[in-house]
């Protein structure tokens, strides 16, 4: 049976760090809405031009754009055995759109406090080439300011400012977190303590798929 896995949790909960490992271990594509959007902005595509203002302000991109993009992506042949999806769905309209395409088999809810999110995002750095994620204290690159994986430069994201982060956390609590109720009814929610060290969060995730 396909494993259609959602990574769920507030900004800075470690979805990116854990999601890359999980997709590698399970041999499933890792699909990150934020990365796809940022790539469109970098390439200055028509979608990129439409969404840039939303992203930099910390607002959600309109559902129609997001749902179409994800619907097309998860219908590709490489998703037949499943996928690890990070950043989608973020509201009920998106969740219903996803349910209409495939059943979600696991929702990994990585739970952290807002205070931790704020502290982590302040020290988050992301590689410009592929969006690999680092933390200056807890998960630093081997060479300062250089991505371990692809050698590209590390930068702070444009929406990792204090103002945009406050907006993103507010949306998370108002629109995204309530989806837990929706998926709890389907019996697919697994909550993990995201306040732990990266290695311990990873152990908890691995145990679910052992």
Count CB-CB contacts under 10 A for residue 207. Answer: 10
For position 20 contacting ligand AMP by CB under 6 A, the verdict is no
How far, rounded to the nearest angstrom, does the alpha carbon of residue 145 sit from its chain's CA centroid? 22
Nearest CB to ligand AMP, comparing residues 64 and 113:
64
Q: Would residue 124 show up in a list of annotated catalytic residues for this protein? A: yes
If phi > 0 it is left, if psi is from -120 to 50 it is alpha, else beta; for residue 158 that is alpha
For position 126 contacting ligand AMP by CB under 6 A, the verdict is no
When binding is defined by CB under 6 A, the residue of 6, 31, 47, 61 that contacts ligand AMP is: 61
For position 94 contacting ligand AMP by CB under 6 A, the verdict is yes
The CB-of-156 to ligand AMP minimum distance in angstroms stands at 13
Catalytic one among 38, 120, 125, 168?
168
Count CB-CB contacts under 10 A for residue 119. Answer: 15
Q: Which stretch binds ligand AMP (CB under 6 A): 19-27, 41-49, 59-67, 104-112?
A: 59-67
CA distance 202 to 180: 21
Q: Would residue 120 show up in a list of annotated catalytic residues for this protein? A: no
Do residues 188 and 105 make contact, with C-beta atoms less than 8 angstroms apart?
Answer: yes
DSSP string, 36-80: HHHHHHHTT-HHHHHHHHHHHTTPPPPHHHHHHHHHHHHTSGGGT
Do residues 166 and 4 make contact, with C-beta atoms less than 8 angstroms apart?
Answer: no
Do residues 126 and 133 make contact, with C-beta atoms less than 8 angstroms apart?
Answer: yes
Nearest CB to ligand AMP, comparing residues 88 and 202:
88
The CB-of-88 to ligand AMP minimum distance in angstroms stands at 4
For position 12 contacting ligand AMP by CB under 6 A, the verdict is no
CA distance 109 to 177: 10
For position 60 contacting ligand AMP by CB under 6 A, the verdict is yes
Q: Would residue 38 show up in a list of annotated catalytic residues for this protein? A: no
Q: Which residue is nearest to ligand AMP (CB)?
A: 34
For position 159 contacting ligand AMP by CB under 6 A, the verdict is yes
Residues of the shown chain interacting with ligand AMP in the complex, contacts defined by CB under 6 A: 11, 33-34, 37, 54-55, 58-61, 66, 87-88, 90, 94, 159, 168
Catalytic residues: 15, 90, 124, 157, 168
């Amino acid at each position: 049976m396909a494993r259609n896995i959602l990574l769920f949790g507030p900004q800075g909960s470690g979805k990116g760090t854990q999601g890359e490992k999980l997709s590698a271990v399970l041999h499933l594509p890792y699909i990150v809405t934020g990365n796809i959007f940022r790539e469109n902005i970098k390439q200055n595509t028509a979608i990129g031009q439409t969404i840039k203002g939303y992203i930099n302000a910390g607002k959600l991109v309109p559902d129609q754009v997001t749902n179409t993009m994800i619907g097309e992506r998860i219908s590709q042949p490489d998703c037949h055995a499943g996928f690890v999806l990070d950043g989608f769905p973020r509201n009920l309209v998106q969740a219903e759109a996803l349910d209409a395409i495939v059943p979600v088999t696991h929702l990994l809810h990585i739970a952290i406090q807002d205070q931790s999110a704020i502290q982590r995002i302040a020290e988050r750095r992301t590689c410009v080439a592929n969006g690999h994620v680092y933390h200056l204290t807890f998960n630093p690159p081997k060479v300062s300011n250089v991505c371990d994986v692809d050698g590209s430069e590390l930068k702070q994201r444009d929406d990792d400012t204090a103002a945009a982060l406050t907006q993103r956390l507010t949306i998370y609590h108002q629109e995204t977190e309530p989806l837990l109720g929706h998926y709890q009814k389907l019996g697919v929610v697994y909550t993990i303590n995201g306040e732990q060290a990266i290695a311990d969060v990873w152990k908890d995730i691995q145990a679910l798929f052992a």
